Amino acid sequence: MATAGFRSFFQGGFECSCQLLPDGRRLDLVAATGHARHAAEDYAALARHGIHTARDGIRWHDVERAPGVYDWSGFLPVLRAARQAGVQVVWDLCHYGWPDHLDIWSADFVSAFGRYAAAAATLVRRESPDVPYYCPVNEISFWSWAGGDMELFAPQTRERGMELKRQLVRASIAAMDAIRAVERRARFVIADPVIHVLPLAPADAAAATHAREAQFEAWDMLAGKAAAELGGGPAYLDIVGVNYYSDNQWYLGGGTIEPGHPAYRPLREILLETHRRYGRPMAVTETGAEGEMRVPWLRYVCDEVAAALHVGVPMQGICLYPVTDYPGWGDDRHCPTGLFGPPCDDGQRPVHWPLADELAVQQRRYAASDPRTGCGAQAAR
């Protein structure tokens, strides 16, 4: 079994959503969190806490403001800051946002994404000798539901979720082909939520099963298990990234199934099911909670990942996401989710020490129990 090759088992993710909202406003969380201005301080802070692998984003809408013209001035300082700090980055190429001049439903969108991906990979290769990591399109399944079926953000349509999912799979394949033509060593993390859905009534059982099974559709398409006409195959499913939060389980047409409820499915079972389906290296690419729940949630996820490792699931990492506090998508409210708070004037961020202390405990635990995954990283205070 191949491994992911991450520098540290515990990772930090910088919120990089940049979608258009229904009111026409474009999010840019790389800027709104202060990460664009303080990338050097942010990456140095990760390293001080024993985190040497991160997720971050290249803002396609900002890079390609005119067709085929790439402006890397906003990305280069972030790229160089990560290298200076010795932090390996999985770069999201498209985190819900794309340039205004492109029609997401068109063939031009797919080809333009491939060209942009190749240009980004060429730049990254020039700047760093390390093996590069990319997430071509973040959360194909969630984006297809939120933007294709529910009108929550662009492209803001109804009943076009499957069409959008297929288009994003095409774009992902085009990006991976284009990157591999530039850099054969490139690795790819395909991140999507894992979920569990139950029926409120027996009559809803088939619909709930269908909703739950939909979580696998994008991965199946990429792996060539479904929709062969899209061009998928085993080479397009490299590292399976699972995004998991406390609201990833619910009753169809009803409320969230809370952790601790008898109907709640342990994460370890979801991880095992996913591994049995694909047989690929896996990582928890997003997880976190707000406020006082930060510490118990990390402890729960670490316990479940440890249990999955024990039965042979090749878990390669756990990413705290977002690793900084951030403004809420729709209302700009302060969301206290991170290991780090908002930046001060000098770029330094306050540390949420309860989470930092729990992270240190888990780093020591994983390093002691499995040197292959713990990486020996120790948090500093």
Distance CA 327, CA 204 (A): 37
What's this model's pTM, rounded to 2 decimal places? 0.95
Distance CA 247, CA 311 (A): 25
Name the β-bridge partners of 208: none
What does pLDDT average to over the chain? 95
Q: Which residue has the tokens 């909202």?
A: 21
pLDDT at 215 (0 to 100): 98
pLDDT band of 377, cuts 50, 70, 90: very low
pLDDT at 381 (0 to 100): 27
Say yes or no to pLDDT of 371 above 80.
Answer: no
Reported for 199-205, long-range contacts at CB under 8 A and 24+ positions apart, including other chains, are: 199/251, 199/252, 200/251, 200/252, 200/253, 200/254, 204/252, 204/253
Q: Which residue has the tokens 């406003």?
A: 25
Kindly state the helix (H) or strand (E) to which residue 157 belongs, with its residue range. Answer: none
Distance set, CA 301 to CA 5, 28, 224, 290, 297 (Å): 21, 28, 30, 14, 6
Domains of the chain, with CATH numbers? 10-374 (3.20.20.80)
CB neighbour class for 30 (10 Å; exposed up to 12, middle 13-18, buried from 19): buried
Average pLDDT over residues 212-217: 98
Residue pLDDT, tens place only, 88-117? 999 999 999 999 999 999 999 999 999 999
List the structure tokens of 312.
Answer: 């042979």
Distance CA 227, CA 209 (A): 20
Omega into 155 within 30° of 0, i.e. cis?
yes
Residue pLDDT, tens place only, 233-277? 999 999 999 999 999 999 999 999 999 999 999 999 999 999 999
Sign of dihedral through CA atoms 46, 51, 52, 56? negative
pLDDT at 375 (0 to 100): 39
DSSP letter at 21 equals P
Distance CA 214, CA 254 (A): 18
Omega into 99 within 30° of 0, i.e. cis?
no
Distance CA 214, CA 250 (A): 14
Q: Which residue has the tokens 């729709």?
A: 330
